[in-house]
Amino acid sequence: MRKPADLATKRHKTRKRSEDPGRLFLRVLSLFVANHTSSRRNKLETQDGLAPSREILFADFMEVIFLGTGTSQGVPMIACACAVCTSTDPRNHRTRASIHVVMDGLHIQVDAAPELRLQCLREKIDWADLFILTHGHADHVTGMDDLRRFCDLLGGNALTVYTTDEGMARVLAIYPYTIMERPVVRGYAAFKLENMPETLELPQGTIQSTLLPHGGVNTLGLIFKERSSGRKFVYYTDCKRVPREAVALAKGADLVVLDGLRPEPHPSHMSIAEAVAVAAEIGAPKTYLTHLTHLSDHAATEAALPPEVRLAYDGLRLTP
């Protein structure tokens, strides 16, 4: 079966930036690889009766798309008339937390919120090469059946799912009908489960992982490093603290995203104050907080934060 990393490329708007000759060489080399794999993907899609991919333009740098930035109940919350839940500021409307990362043309979906289908439609996410499940809690796993469309686009093959032992057990319990090389019926989901390694080596770069304590389970903390640009992005969601080794792995990042649930302490999530302290320890030029409850109004909360710490919101797109 074709590996997900061999299927990487997709259409993106080109951003102009000056680059040194060595970086430019790596970018041209990556573009060659991207175009080569694109032709193989077009052949695969045509053979399976799918329309060929649209024109592919190579993106200059990694892109991080926030599909959702809310806690497990979402915002607005059911049966709540607080100022945030009734706010007209769209940044206060938070679907459950997940992101989509594009790294040298490789599309990586991280977590599957219950609103995954709507999030993908809203942000025009039309490809996924692989999926990473940070942990098996409902707000991160219950949208996985909607990944079926990406299996279709992969020629009816299984989508590779990287996760922890706990995540695997949860997928097996909820989606036993998906664990196969190809769907039984075209249009259904199929998953190939893999343990997330400490370092996932890909032609487009690396994804390192580290375990973060989150109540009774461990969450995967993820460190993305794009090969062509050298850009480094850290995603630490759903955690009570960031251990010393995870702080060390995050050092030198261009962009960090941290769990910052609410102003008050919580037994399994970092509070905003705790997240700000971790952000200072890591020292990235920009840190964004995610997995936010209805206790944080976007504008008021952000105004009280250090300038290098911001709140993420649904639909936010960042280039590390």
List pLDDT tens digits, range 78-124. 999 999 999 999 999 999 999 999 999 999 999 999 999 999 999 99
Domain segments of the chain as ranges: 60-318
**pLDDT at site 128:** 98
pLDDT value of position 60? 57
Query: Which fold does the domain 60-318 belong to in CATH?
Result: Metallo-beta-lactamase; Chain A (3.60.15)
Q: At residue 19, does pLDDT exceed 50? A: no
State CA 302 to chain mean position distance: 23
| Beta carbons of 310 and 89 less than 8 angstroms apart | no
Q: Which of 195, 197, 287, 200 is nearest to 242 (CA)?
A: 287
pTM over 0.85: no
What pLDDT score was predicted for residue 12?
A: 41
From CA 202, how far away is CA 225, in angstroms rounded?
A: 10
Q: pLDDT tens digits for 225-267?
A: 999 999 999 999 999 999 999 999 999 999 999 999 999 999 9
Taking 80 as the threshold, does the pLDDT of residue 24 lie above it? no
- Asked if omega into 76 is within 30° of 0 (cis), the reply is yes
User: What pLDDT does residue 199 have?
Assistant: 98
Residues near 177 by Cβ (< 8 Å), separated by ≥ 6? 184, 188
> CA torsion, points 125, 130, 132, 138, in degrees to nearest 10?
60
What mean pLDDT comes out for the span 14-38? Answer: 44
pLDDT at 184: 85
Q: Supply the mean pLDDT for the chain.
A: 87
Top-confidence residue, 49 or 230 = 230
